[in-house]
Amino acid sequence: MTEVDPIRLEVIRNALVAASEEMNISIWRTARSTVVRETLDYSTAIFDGSGNAVAQSTRIPVHLNSMSVCLEEIVTNWIPLSEWNEGDVVLTNDPYAGGQHLPDFVAYKPIYRDGKRVAISATIVHHVDIGGGAPGSYFAGAQEVYQEGLRLPPIKLVDGGRMNASILAVIRRNSREPEKIGGDIAAQLAALDVGARAILRLVDRYGIAVVQAAMAAVLDQSEVAMRSAISAIPDGTYTFEDFVDDDGQEAIGIKIRASVTIEGDKALIDLSGSSPQVPGPVNCTVNMAKSGVYCALLMAAGGGVMANTGAYRPIEIIAQEGTVVSARSPAPVANRMATGHRIVTTVLGALAIANPEAIPAAYYGVSYVAALSAPDASGERRVYFEIEVGGWGGHPESDGANGFSAGFHNLANSPLEMCEALFPVVFTEYGLIPNSGGDGEYRGGLGLAREWRLEADWGVLSGNFDRFRFPPYGLNGGKPGAPGRFMLTRDGNTKQLPSKISGVQLKRGDKVRLDTSGGGGWGDPAQRDPEARLADQRAGYVS
């Protein structure tokens, strides 16, 4: 095997990260939908020729840490690497074939030089609508994945350089937003090419053997770093439980249980004891659960480990099939993020037992996704889609951040003025919620309130939330954060809506309000610095 010197290694490592950033810019530049361009719900990565994730852009943890598991599933059970050829693009959105939920399309492009596969570029993009029982493909009433939209098993969307136009036509025909999904797929494909060009540039400069050796060394670096981070955690088995509110249908209090066993430089995360899979769409497939575990361990490692397949090597995961963390087909999965976030907070909770002075209390722990379908001023039907966040947990050294992306996802909000210009809504509030952060020596960050009024004759609303019943936990005596709420006000009467709902018929003038959770507090509230309490009062963070 070719050796790569430490200097060349660093040069190539930088270039691989830059390649994934180039892909990232490319998607941002060319995408069409708001969900991609304003909320930035997509990710990009570079894999080596045998399918190990090597370098990623700075985007969304849930995406980034799932792309390698997805690829593994594809090449093991669907299209073996031996059948991949130059000019192919392999794509899937099938949760039961490596995907997560139907709106997320994962696409891979093998990159060849002299007939040899040297790398694979990869993108994952959340598409605005892929059909199914509710706008945005978030159908809270789904009991089977078949009700959630169009499912594409791993296929060659591009085969030897030739686009399969028929599949593209099927996809467009099944979406409520055909123009946007078409545009966003084009953006996704363009980014794969950009990644390929960047890799080939490296190959031309350094040769295949050196680039491959460097990729292997980058993986080894991450493995070493992750092993050393795990070694710093005391040996032992630590068990923690946290809960998803419900599945929006029958199941209430869905348990996530994690037993984390640290043995030297290895970690075993056993999710056995988590609830059986549920009728409603909060199930995770196993690849999603793995992504959550990897994310939690990368966080516990302190952020210094470059996330890739090397970092995953010392981590073993047990997720029993038929449970909510490894659902069997055809369980619905659209709102799998509620459970995914909960896997992250549960694993972190277990690690906090091992290392109480290092791990913060729970963050809000859910992707607050709401979608509204309503006619715009010209009578054309529009899907307004928003993703919100809440407060961070109090940290052993500082208060949690207010209203800021945390943990498993990472998303920007949509500007209110842009939403008002494009959709028939008028915002009546967007702000922090006083007293929503859990009390503690270090307070949890505050949740957010986002409230709007419908300015159209009709609208259909869906919401996919959590943490309405089981608030983000506090640690070391800290109090939990405030739970979230979803409310509808009509003719002066306000009623609470459940955390997971779709098909809510709205009338002109209806007010819809989402309160997101604050973070849990860390440490005994009696130990809180009186100065900090005064400052909280002054700012009105606490009333």
Partner 1 sequence: MAVSSRPIRIAVDIGGTFTDIEVYDSRTGSTFAHKTPTTPDDPSRGLGIGLQEVANLCDFNLADIGLLLHGTTIATNAVLERKLPKGAMITTKGFEDVLEIGRHMRQELYSLKAEPRSLLIPRENRFGIVERIRYDGTVETPIEKAALAELAKKLAGKGVEAIAIAFLNSYANPIHEQEALEVLAKEIPTVAISASHEVSPEIREFERFSTTVLNALLKPVVSRYLEQVEGRLQAIGVSASLYLVQSNGGVARPVEAARLPAKLLLSGPAGGAMAMANLSELHGVSNLVGIDMGGTSADIAVVAEGSIGQTPEGNIDGLPVRLPMIEIRTIGAGGGSIARLQGKGLRVGPESAGANPGPVCYGRGGVEPAVTDANVALARIDAPSFLGGAMQLNASDALHAINERVATPLGLPSEAAAAGILEVADARMADAIRLSLFEKGADPSDFVLAPFGGAGGLHATALADALNIGCIIFPSNASTLSARGILGADLRHDLARSRRLKANNGGEADALTALAEMASDLRKEAEDALVRDGVSEADRLYEFSADMRYLGQAYELGVHWGNIQITEQTVRDLVEKFHAEHLRRFAHADERDTVEVATLRLAAIGKMPRPQISGLHGAAPDRPAIRGSRRVWFENAWINAPVYSREHLEIGSRITGPCIVEEAFTTLVIGNGWKAQMKAGGDLVAVKGEVND
479: contact with partner 1 by CB under 8 A: no
CA atoms of 498 and 485, how far apart (whole Å)? 8
Number of Cβ within 10 Å of residue 520's Cβ equals 34
Size of site (CB under 8 A) for partner 1 = 86
Q: How far is CA 165 from CA 21, 171, 182, 192, 482, in A?
A: 28, 10, 11, 18, 49
Site string for partner 1, 387-416 (x = CB under 8 A): --x--x--x-xx-xxxxxxx---xxxx-xx
Site string for partner 1, 292-321 (x = CB under 8 A): ---x--xxxxxx-x-x--------------
Q: 61 preceded by cis ω (within 30°)?
A: no
The least distance separating partner 1 from the CB of residue 197, rounded to whole angstroms, comes to 10
- Positions 416 through 475 that interact with partner 1 (CB under 8 A): 416-418, 420-422, 426-432, 445, 448, 451
Nearer to partner 1, 319 or 389 (CB): 389
Question: Which of 83, 86, 144, 220 is the binder for partner 1 (CB under 8 A)?
Answer: 220
Provide DSSP, 225-242: HHHHHHHTSPSEEEEEEE
Nearer to partner 1, 237 or 428 (CB): 428
157: contact with partner 1 by CB under 8 A: no
* Helical residues (DSSP H) of 328-462, grouped into ranges: 336-354, 416-422
Sign of CA dihedral 127, 128, 131, 133: positive
The least distance separating partner 1 from the CB of residue 98, rounded to whole angstroms, comes to 22
CA atoms of 34 and 387, how far apart (whole Å)? 11
The least distance separating partner 1 from the CB of residue 331, rounded to whole angstroms, comes to 29
The least distance separating partner 1 from the CB of residue 226, rounded to whole angstroms, comes to 11
- Positions 166 through 185 that interact with partner 1 (CB under 8 A): 179-180, 183
Question: Which of 155, 167, 168, 186 is the binder for partner 1 (CB under 8 A)?
Answer: 186
Closest CA to 137 of 41, 57, 44, 71: 41
- Positions 3 through 32 that interact with partner 1 (CB under 8 A): 5-7, 9-11, 13-15, 18, 21-22, 25-26, 29-30, 32
Strand ranges for 82-159 from DSSP E = 89-92, 104-113, 116-126, 155-159
192: contact with partner 1 by CB under 8 A: no
Strand ranges for 376-527 from DSSP E = 381-388, 425-432, 448-454, 458-464, 485-490, 493-497, 500-507, 511-515
Nearer to partner 1, 121 or 502 (CB): 121
38: contact with partner 1 by CB under 8 A: yes
Q: Which positions ≥6 away from 415 have C-beta within 8 Å?
A: 38
165: contact with partner 1 by CB under 8 A: no
The least distance separating partner 1 from the CB of residue 447, rounded to whole angstroms, comes to 11
